[in-house]
Structure 1
Amino acid sequence: MDLRILDCDAHFGGTAHDASVWRASALKVFLDNMYSNGERNFWLLGDSGYPQLPYLMTPIPGNNLSDSEHNYNRHHRKARNCVERCFGVLKSRFRCLSKYRVLMYDPVLAGKIINACIILHNIMILNNIRYEIEDDDNISFDEEFNLVDEITSTHHGIAARQQIVNNYFNY
């Protein structure tokens, strides 16, 4: 919520799909192991480009949603907004990361540049160095609905999400 970046894996190119990066990530392996070992007190939020898992909560797709499901999606979107805002601030601070610029280096060096930008971003946050987001990138904080096929979502994940909806958003 304070826009600090806690983890980064700059091994993948900019055209890699979020779900592909997720499947290959060390974080997924770590969280899968935690869940398999009985840990159930954590959730990660992802947009609709990710599969719904018992610990990875995604928006509920569709237009014909109940009030509880609509409330869940609204709160999910609000919570994920800080992630999108963080990306916007990072790209505004370091223009080489914007979609209009391209890092014309080999992938290893480009990854190092991205990691350096993230470290500097976090240092700026820790030292309360102000930032201004410029409009020329047309930065959008709205969630991109890029639906993953429901087959990739597990039955346990969908059941876990529905339990959250029933327990916390039924008001």
Structure 2
Amino acid sequence: MGKVLILNQDYSALTVCSAQKAFILLYLQKAELVKENPRQKLCTVNQAYPMPLVIRLHRYVNIPYKGVMLSRQNIFRRDGYSCQYCGSKHDLTLDHVLPRSRGGKSSWTNLVTACKRCNSKKGDLTPEEAGMPLRRRPYRPSFVVFLRNLSGGVVDAWMPFLGGQEV
């Protein structure tokens, strides 16, 4: 079963959920079907239902902060669960690009995923001083980028509802 984009009442992207969860929201009449997958159906013993791709909630959900929270798991997610120095996917931890002991803050642009070996090797140095260039510069992900990473990619049918946002 695939992933479904959930839109707020005003058609703004909220989150991604499973097709089962989306079907329940539709069945309980808490949402309406906006886009379906023409190649798949949800079947019961007596009936076939359209497979949802995009649904819209009937009630507006107020989200005061629509950014991505800074957390260990979200840094790992942004970095693809791989060390930003060597590419390893084992024994991962967080590294401050500019070490905290030298005034580095815990922020999206100063935290990267690093394996324990590289983190230890880098120590209290900057990547340049340690001769360990970053594979990708750390950045603050947009909400849409986070949705994409959470769902494993953006379905083409979602694009009109993510319009104008960085993907």
Q: TM-score, normalised by structure 2?
A: 0.24
Q: Which has the higher helix share?
A: 1
Q: Which has the higher strand share?
A: 2
Q: Which has more radius of gyration?
A: 2
Q: TM-score, normalised by structure 1?
A: 0.24
